[in-house]
Amino acid sequence: MKGTILMKRITTVLFLVLAVAVHATAADSRQTFRTSFNDGWKFHKGDVAGAETPEFDDSQWRSLDLPHDWAIEGPFDVKYNARCGGLPFHGTGWYRKSFEVPAEASGKAISVTFDGAMYDAHVWVNGHFVGHRPYGYIEFQYDISNLLNYNGSNAIAVKLAPEDLSTRWYPGAGIYRNVWLDIRDPVHVAQWGTFVTTPKVKDRTATVSIETTLEGDLTEKSIQLKYEVFDPMGKSVSSSTIPGQIKTATKLSVSNPLLWTLESPQLYVLKTTVLGAGRTLDVVQTRFGIRTLEFSKTEGFSLNGNPTRIQGVCLHHDNGPLGAAIHRRAIERKLQIMKQMGVNSVRTSHNPPSNELLDLCDELGILVQVEAFDVWLKAKVPNGYNKFFEEWGERDIKDMVRRDRNHPSVFMWSIGNEILEQGNKEDGNRIAKQLNGYVKSLDTTRPTTCGFNYFPGPYQSGMAGQIDIAGMNYKPLAYGDPVDEFLPNNPVVASETSSCTSSRGVYHLPIEKYQTHPSKQVTSYDLIGPPWAYPPDVEFDALETHPEILGEYVWTGFDYLGEPTPYGGKDNSTNGYWNADWPSRSSYFGAVDLCGFPKDRFYLYQSQWTQEPMVHVLPHWNWQNSSHKTIPIVAYTNCEEVELLVNGKSMGRKVKGKDLTKIPVKFNRYDKDHFMSKYRLSWEVPYSPGSLRVVGYRNGKPVAEKEIRTAGEPAQVKLVADRRELIADQSDLSYVTVRIEDREGNLCPLASNLVRFSVDGAGTIAAVGNGNAATTAPFIADEREAFNGLCMLIVKAGKQTGGITIRAESEGLRSDSASLDVKRP
């Protein structure tokens, strides 16, 4: 097999996570230091001559702190591309910052690091051009030691120039990830200069293999490297001190290792201290986890020797109403919601993720497929990354691997998604082999993959054989013999599945398969999708039939900004704007909407991916003003049986797996017009206002239930904060669910009341939203209409401690208030 180390089985064992520089403990001034460089920037939208010079007058520019996404502020406008969220992400933006460095820092190695800037970043320091980085998703660092004034002020300027028609989704705009300033001894651990693996893991011991790369002049110094490993409780469990070289390798042993698992993600810390002439020169702490990976063609995937089916989702990088700007809490909440759905893996579609996402996946126990590119040389949109790929592709993918190879959550590298070279044998094979080689030159402990949406093209040509694991997008009918004919030895993962679309709380009757609907919404009976798409049930069945498939990545876990399929346009088209169905401007694909409210599909996946007894019923039970007298009822459950009761009267029990539900289905290469699903239970019942209740049974005993009641007229606003205690770090968030309820506290499922907000005290309004994919109401506002009874207020803590008081009012409804507490970090 060409271009791969994978034969029958790959076994990999990995360690690690995030390298963080900290203060050294030596009692001298020459210490490692990393500080946030986010505060005190000036911003201007539009090009300005001379803005890179130190003397430029930026006093009239806007003052702000990073991270910052200029486009999320809007406004939404039909002149922008709905495919990219209908927001003004393209154009030129300038950022400037004045700063000082202490005189005693002269002679040190001083660098500035950008976790990501969107995109085509050009950076100047004191008028000197220091570098250019086109790819908005990649981290980059510049040594600026020789450009600084150590006796006065310094100026850094960053110019960004995102282009129109440069992306297929909303990318954001600006310096949207964190920026750091490092002041280090000239001899120090290089950027991403620590790499930890565990070549041997047994019950009683694990071998920790360490590679360290130093920078600086070592010729006149006797360098020592002191290594110390701390267990998850902070106890030192292994140490060694050895001579240090530019490249140094060593091994340590850890007794009775605690493994990194999905249920208990135990994390160790490696402390690397660089010593020279009796002084501490540098200290780096590297968090890591001990675990093993196995990938088998016939037996699937195992984590620590335990067979593990991938229950994954694809996630874009935006945070809904907050845009692309990094908020650790926003990412944490997103991942927590996914875990509630039963997710155990994330595919970073279709680009390198933030440091924060990987840190959180390490902590929460979520596996990650890190993806490098959406395009190579052939364009999907006129101004895409393909313009930069030939010059920057090798460096970008290598930097991605160097940065992320220490995270225990990272278990696969994807070199691309649905790249158009699939149809070109020569270019496809050549580039796939090159990219695979770049990855393997830096990390042989994890397999490579690529998301292929053509079949059998890249399999016949040998392109799929250039990587370790074949990623199949939307090809459940090709599992087994069709793909095995071309790849008899390679494991296969369903790298993108379903693409079912829906709008939270929307139910169109009768149940039918349609392309689009005049409402610009999509029914939540979970069956509508574009031509390549199919309901989740089809994938469940295919994976059940083919247990050798590693698992699936659903498109998508969350809705995201842009790509409002099935409205507006055709995927991968290069013909410009998707505005035919304006104001549809964001995704309908998610199992969770843009605000984090679960749709019905959330519970369909939960019914397959979780063990805690659950049952869910749809639709709502407010049909009194409808012409429909008989309503289709659907239940999702992981129980054996479900009983439906309407106003206390049983409509009968249904047995999961025995009582099938016929759903209309039609997608590419599927020769039927329906699918008999054993994953959903259904009834047809006459509508009668009151109570709709389902009860789930195991072994004949009730173990779960859910009830929906017919709501009266909207009477009150109800606030429910997900967190009442925040940290005073100017970035912590509380997501406040806003419910429109009747007098008895029932959610009004059709309500669209306008709610106005006020926030006083130690916090501010970060954004508002409601999950409606077809509205131009701004996210940065102090009011929002409810969408099917719900909207969202996102509150951000400031730097000061104290209380936050939230008040929500809506005309004709009883108002509500809530209090939050902001505490010291």
CATH code, domain carrying 544: 3.20.20.80
User: Is residue 814 included in any domain, yes or no?
Assistant: yes
512 lies in some domain: no
User: Are the C-beta atoms of 333 and 364 separated by less than 8 Å?
Assistant: no
418 is catalytic: yes
CB 536 within 8 A of CB 607: no
Amino acid letter at 132?
A: H
447 and 539 belong to one structural domain: yes
Residue 28 has pLDDT above 60, yes or no: no
Cα 614 to Cα 537, 558, 728, distances in angstroms? 18, 21, 37
Structural domain ending residue among the three candidates 169, 184, 199: 184
Q: For residues 477 and 490, what is the distance between their CA atoms, to the nearest angstrom?
A: 18
Q: Which of 184, 216, 240 is the last residue of a domain?
A: 184
> Do 193 and 179 share a structural domain?
no
Least confidently predicted of 23-32, 135-144, 148-157, 564-573: 23-32
Boundary (domain end) residue, out of 120, 153, 184: 184
User: Do 671 and 722 share a domain, yes or no?
Assistant: no
CATH number for the domain that contains residue 116: 2.60.120.260
Task: For residue range 418-464, list pLDDT tens digits in order.
Answer: 999 998 889 999 999 999 999 999 999 999 999 999 999 999 999 99
635 lies in the same domain as 723:
no
Q: Is the residue at 331 inside a domain?
A: yes
Do 465 and 483 reside in the same domain of the chain?
A: yes
Residues 448 and 328 in one domain: yes
Contact 811/754 with Cβ under 8 angstroms? yes
The catalytic position among 52, 139, 371, 418 is 418
Listed in sequence order, the DSSP H helices in 506-585 are: 536-545
810 and 723 part of one domain: yes
pTM for the predicted model, two decimal places: 0.95
Of 52, 371, 496, 643, catalytic: 496
Give the pLDDT of residue 26: 31
Q: What is the mean pLDDT of residues 156-175?
A: 96
Total domains in the chain come to: 5
| 109-120 pLDDT per residue, tens | 999 999 999 999
pLDDT of residue 576: 79
Whether the predicted pLDDT of 25 surpasses 60: no
Task: Determine, yes or no, domain membership for 587.
Answer: no
Within-domain flag for 626:
yes
Tell me, yes or no, whether 218 and 157 share the same domain: no
160-186 per-residue burial string, b: 16 or more CB within 10 A, e: under 16: bbbbbbbbbbbbbbbbbbbbbbbbbbb
pLDDT score for 330: 98
User: Which residues is 197 bridged to in the sheet?
Assistant: 14, 209
Q: Which domain holds residue 818?
A: 716-823
C-alpha torsion angle, residues 416, 419, 423, 425 (rounded to 10): -40
- CA–CA distance from 530 to each of 349, 475, 519, 636 (Å)? 19, 14, 17, 23
What local confidence, expressed as pLDDT, does residue 681 receive? 98
The average pLDDT across 631-643 equals 98
CA-based radius of gyration for the chain: 27
Dist. CA 568–CA 372, nearest whole Å: 27
- Distance from first CA to last CA of the chain, Å, rounded? 53
Residues 403 and 478 in one domain: yes
Residues near 641 by beta carbon (within 8 Å), at least 6 away in sequence: 653, 654, 655, 656, 696, 697
Q: Is residue 4 part of a domain?
A: no
Kindly report the CATH number assigned to the domain that includes residue 766: 2.60.40.10
Q: What is the pLDDT of residue 23?
A: 33
- CB atoms closer than 10 angstroms to residue 662: 11
Band (pLDDT 50/70/90 cuts) for residue 781 is very high
Structure tokens at 469: 């694991």
Q: What does DSSP say about strands 247-255 and 205-215: parallel, antiparallel, or unpaired? A: antiparallel
Q: Are 427 and 421 in contact (CB under 8 A)?
A: yes
Q: Among 532, 389, 519, 406, which Cα is nearest to 472's?
A: 532
Calpha distance 342→380 (Å, rounded): 33
The two structure tokens encoding residue 438: 């770049």
What's the mean pLDDT when you consider all of the chain?
94
pLDDT over 90 (residue 572): no
422 and 536 fall within a common domain: yes
Separation of alpha carbons 524 and 521, rounded Å: 9
pLDDT at 32: 54
Q: Cα–chain-centroid distance for residue 690? A: 40
Q: Is residue 585 part of a domain?
A: no
236-243: long-range contacts, CB 8 A cutoff, minimum separation 24: 237/268, 238/208, 241/275
Round to whole Å and give the CA distance between 87 and 74: 6
Residue (of 96, 104, 102, 160) closest to 126 by Cα position: 96
Q: Would you say residue 609 lies in a domain? A: no
Residue 33 has pLDDT above 90, yes or no: no
**Percent of the chain at pLDDT above 90?**
92
Residue pair 260/267 in contact by the 8 Å Cβ criterion = yes
Rounded to 5, what percent of the chain is helix, strand, coil? 15, 40, 45
Q: Kindly report, residue by residue over 506-559, the tens digit of the pLDDT.
A: 999 999 999 999 999 999 999 999 999 999 999 999 999 999 999 999 999 999
Q: Please check whether residues 92 and 143 belong to one and the same domain.
A: yes
Asked if 43 and 121 sit in the same domain, the reply is: yes
DSSP-derived 3-state class of residue 476? helix
